């Protein structure tokens, strides 16, 4: 992938997930329009994490998870899950060795029909703190019709004025891509409110930590691995044994920012293991049960509710706009 394409893909990975904090955020249509200004009309695939593989499994909350949330997903019973693993960016043919985020999207559906969706990424921060910065970051990268390239001076000026938009790209540059979808943590990044059995409401972020441990590609593997190895590698793993992740809540300390997803909380903050996700099936090829799902049901009130992070409140509507355009 060329440097410009990498930069666009990193920006695109963040866009739908990181609308932000200003009083007058861009409309959902403007968010999707900004994607299309750079990538062209998107009618056959998702604008973010376009390349993916469907899977299925189940989730079981720990006793601590049941204590910390009254949401149906944390009942302690086995909850079926529809799962999508993905490679970041808007290119459905992105190489699996690219320095892009990896995605873990999950739909939990209890036997009673309660639905909870989430979209997690393999980086502990999002790519931009506000919707304005996200949209502007895409628009300054629109290719000039005369040259087919963006105006680099405008891009440089934007980055200088919005340094937080560089944090995710910097993290990706410093950490090689995962060697498997099964060997990377996936962060939820945003803070949510968890209402416990005791009635107390606690802010928390979550991460899905791989039971297989964290393993990244070497520099040599990044040069030599095929462009499409992740799906088959996951199929082989799951055929041998379920792939498992522990869901871990992280709680903020004094002064931790609850509303800015470009800032990670320190590693020494209190944590609790609240459940385990088991991946037991992987679709044999393209398509599957995850394909028509946009993962828009982002809370399961009253057990899991949005925090005041405006990025959460602005996420669902652009997902719906994008889906409606693909269905036209």
Active site residues: 49
Instruction: Note the helical H segments in 131-246.
Output: 131-139, 152-161, 167-174, 219-224, 230-240
Tokens linked to 50: 């376009």
Query: Measured between alpha carbons, how far is 196 from 95 in angstroms, rounded to an integer?
Result: 42
Question: Beta 243-250 vs 115-121: how paired, if at all?
Answer: unpaired
SS3 of residue 238 by DSSP? helix
Specify the residue for token string 């990670």: 264
H or E segment and range at residue 117: strand 115-121
Query: Measured between alpha carbons, how far is 179 from 182 in angstroms, rounded to an integer?
Result: 8
Cis amide leading into 302 (omega within 30): yes
In this structure, are residues 17 and 189 in contact, taking their beta carbons and an 8 Å threshold? yes
In this structure, are residues 118 and 127 in contact, taking their beta carbons and an 8 Å threshold? no
Phi, psi of 265 (to 5 degrees): -80, 150
Tokens linked to 1: 């992938």
In this structure, are residues 161 and 132 in contact, taking their beta carbons and an 8 Å threshold? no
CB-side neighbour CA atoms (13 Å) of 155: 14
Query: Measured between alpha carbons, how far is 171 from 179 in angstroms, rounded to an integer?
Result: 17
Reference 123, options 180, 189, 183; nearest CA is 189
Q: How far is CA 125 from CA 77, 129, 278, in A?
A: 31, 10, 24
């Amino acid at each position: 992938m060329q440097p410009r394409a990498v930069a666009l893909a990193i920006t695109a990975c963040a866009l739908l997930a990181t609308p932000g904090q200003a009083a007058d955020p861009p409309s959902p249509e403007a968010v999707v329009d900004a994607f299309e200004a750079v990538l062209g009309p998107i009618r056959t695939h998702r604008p973010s994490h376009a390349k993916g593989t469907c899977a299925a499994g189940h989730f079981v909350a720990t006793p601590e998870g049941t204590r910390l949330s009254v949401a149906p997903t944390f009942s302690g019973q086995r909850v079926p899950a529809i799962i999508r693993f993905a490679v970041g960016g808007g290119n459905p043919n992105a190489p699996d060795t690219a320095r892009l985020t990896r995605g873990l999207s999950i739909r939990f559906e209890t036997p009673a029909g309660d639905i909870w969706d989430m979209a997690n990424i393999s980086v502990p921060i999002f790519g931009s703190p506000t919707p304005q910065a996200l949209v502007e970051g895409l628009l300054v990268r629109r290719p000039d019709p005369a040259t087919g390239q963006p105006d680099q001076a405008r891009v440089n000026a934007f980055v200088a004025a919005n340094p937080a938009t560089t944090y995710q790209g910097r993290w990706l540059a410093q950490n090689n891509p995962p060697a498997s979808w099964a060997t990377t943590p996936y962060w939820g990044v945003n803070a949510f409110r968890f209402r416990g059995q005791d009635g107390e409401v606690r802010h928390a972020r979550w991460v899905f930590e791989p039971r297989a441990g964290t393993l990244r590609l070497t520099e040599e593997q990044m040069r030599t691995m095929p462009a499409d190895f992740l799906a088959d590698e996951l199929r082989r793993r799951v055929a041998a044994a379920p792939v498992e992740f522990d869901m871990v809540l992280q709680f903020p300390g004094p002064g931790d920012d609850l509303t800015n997803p470009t800032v990670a909380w320190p590693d020494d903050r209190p944590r609790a293991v609240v459940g385990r996700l088991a991946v037991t099936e992987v679709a044999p090829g393209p398509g599957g049960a995850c394909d028509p799902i946009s993962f828009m049901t982002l809370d399961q009130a009253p057990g899991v509710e949005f925090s005041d992070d405006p990025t959460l409140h602005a996420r669902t509507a652009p997902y719906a706009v994008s889906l409606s355009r693909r269905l036209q």
